[in-house]
Structure formats: C-alpha cells, structure tokens
Amino acid sequence: MLKEERLDYILKKLQADNKVLQTELSNDLQVSEDTVRRDLEALAQSGQLIKVRGGAIPHSPNPYSFKERIVYHENDKKHIAAKALSLIHDGQTIILDGGTSTLTLAKMLPPHLKVTIITNSVPIVSQLVEHPSIELIFTGGRIGKDSQTAGGMDTIRMLQKVKADLCFLGICSLHPDAGVTGLDLSEADVKSVMVESAYKTIALATSDKMGTAEPYKVCDITGIDTIVTDNPELPSLKPYINLGIQVL
C-alpha cells in the first residue's frame, strides 16, 4: 500500500472511530508500528490530527474566531449554562474565562444573584456591567481582537492574586489523556492560571469536544472537578467519570 493510501485510511478511520491506535493500524495496514508512527507524525505536522501516546485523536471541530463560535451549538450552550447555574450561589467568587459558553452563562445569571465575577472577557464585562448585584472585576491586560479577551503577564499576575470558589472554563478540547487543551498558547496560559486560582474548576463543553485535543495544554484532566455537557449519557464520558470527575 502506498503512503498516500495509508494516510487516507488513517484519516477515514479517525473520522469513524474518533481515535486510532498504532497497534491496530499496524495490523490493518500490514506495516510495522514504526511506519505507522511516521505516518501519524506526518499527519500531525500537517495539522490533520493530534498525536498522542499509542495513537492519535482528532482536533476540536470548533471554529476559531469568537464571532464564529457565538452561534456554534448555540442551543446546546444554553442547555449547558442552565445546568451550570445550579452550581452558583450567593457569596461566591467566580472566575469566568473568555469562552462563548461562559458568555452564555453570564447572560443567564439572575438579577438577584450576589456574587463576585472575575473575568478576562470583554463581552462578559459588557454583559454584566449593569447587573444590579454582581461585583465585577476585569483582569486587565492586552486585548486580543479575535478572542475579545485580555491576556499576557498583566492578566496572569492579577489572576495569581485570586483564590476563587469556582472557575468556569469554556472548553476547546477535552481528552482523558491529553487533558484540557487549546488552539492558542497565550489563551492556554491564562486558562491554566485560572484553574490554579480556583478551588473547583467546571468545564463547560459540548459533546463534540470530548476525546479531542489541540496543541497547547491548559491542565491535566484531573484539574477538572465537573464537566457540564449537553448529553451526559454519552459512552465517551465514562473515562472521565471513572477518574472521579462529576458529569452533569
């Protein structure tokens, strides 16, 4: 089998199974595991998959720009946000990252809720600035026009001064082995500090983000305490439950 045929087979199997294993590919393609490893590395370098130990997993299907992501799975995000509301109580200090799922949650916060919200998201600040009973803290920092979030060392230093009750993360990619990952290094660095600056971290993730990965690490999967998703009965969530992560 030609290399191009092997690569095509790998990508089709990845699309069908949501993962590929080197040992299985070696048997299927009747080539050595070293050959499969080189094929996976070539596909990873061309941006068509993420190579992990023993195989590969797909990229997140998420569009990159913030404006594109606002309408992506909009109804699922509203369902997720409605469930996430049950975790929020008066008196808490809460970190909201700059995702569209956290923006959806911010839009649903009731007017009587008395909490402190810390965020690096310009849209969330705009949404909550007139909320009657929320104390709002913006992290400051350099604004990324595509993400509409503050980032850089000023943002990180401010977050390092905080120990919040909860951190809500909008998730780009979630995987039992690869952990929480993202597309942008600077954003991943900020999210990582957010996780460290909270007692509990809640991942807001549509089901299509499960079992995917991107290049930049936010935290290990054990850094997540709860996953709130649109379909908690999916078999793909069992590895997270087995690790002791609450799934809602």
User: CA 139 → CA 160, 172, 177, distances in Å?
Assistant: 11, 21, 31
Q: How far is CA 241 from CA 51, 56, 102, 210, 248, in A?
A: 24, 22, 23, 13, 10
Tell me which of 39, 57, 75 is where a domain ends. 57
Both 157 and 183 in one domain: the answer is: yes
CATH number at residue 48: 1.10.10.10
Give residue 174's pLDDT.
Answer: 92
144 and 212, same domain (yes or no): yes
* Of 78 and 46, more confident: 78
Calpha distance 169→214 (Å, rounded): 16
Q: How many domains does the chain have?
A: 2
Q: Is 30 exposed, middle or buried (0-12, 13-18, 19+ CB in 10 A)?
A: exposed
pTM of the entire structure? 0.81
- Per DSSP, what are the bridge partners of residue 9? none
Q: Coil, strand, or helix at residue 61? A: coil
**How confident is residue 40, by pLDDT bands cut at 50, 70 and 90?**
confident
Residue 204 in contact with residue 194, Cβ under 8 Å? no
- Asked if residue 157 and residue 38 are part of one domain, the reply reads no
204 shares a domain with 124 = yes
Q: Which amino acid is at 35?
A: T
- What is the tens place of the pLDDT at every residue in 194-248? 999 999 999 999 888 888 888 899 999 999 999 999 999 988 899 999 999 999 9
Are the CB atoms for 94 and 166 separated by under 8 Å? yes
- Examine the domain organization and report whether 51 and 99 are in the same domain: no
- What does the pLDDT read at residue 64? 55
12 vs 128: which has the higher pLDDT = 128
State the pLDDT at residue 17.
77
Check which CATH number belongs to the domain holding 75 and give it.
Answer: 3.40.50.10470
Within this chain, do residues 216 and 96 fall inside the same structural domain, yes or no?
Answer: yes
**What pLDDT was estimated at residue 50?**
79
156 and 228 in a common domain: yes
Same domain assignment for residues 142 and 193 = yes
For 52, the domain range is: 3-57
Same-domain check for residues 44 and 80 = no
Q: Is the pLDDT confidence value at 137 over 90?
A: yes
pLDDT at position 56: 85
The average pLDDT across 52-56 equals 84
Question: How far apart (Å, rounded) are the C-alpha atoms in residues 238 and 120?
Answer: 32
pLDDT for the residue 63? 56
State mean pLDDT over 85-109: 96
- Same domain for 14 and 81? no
Residue 68 has pLDDT above 60, yes or no: no
Please report, rounded to a whole number, the percentage of residues in the chain having pLDDT higher than 90.
57
DSSP 162-207: --EEEEEEE-SEEETTTEEEES-HHHHHHHHHHHHTEEEEEEE--G
Same-domain status, 16 and 73: no
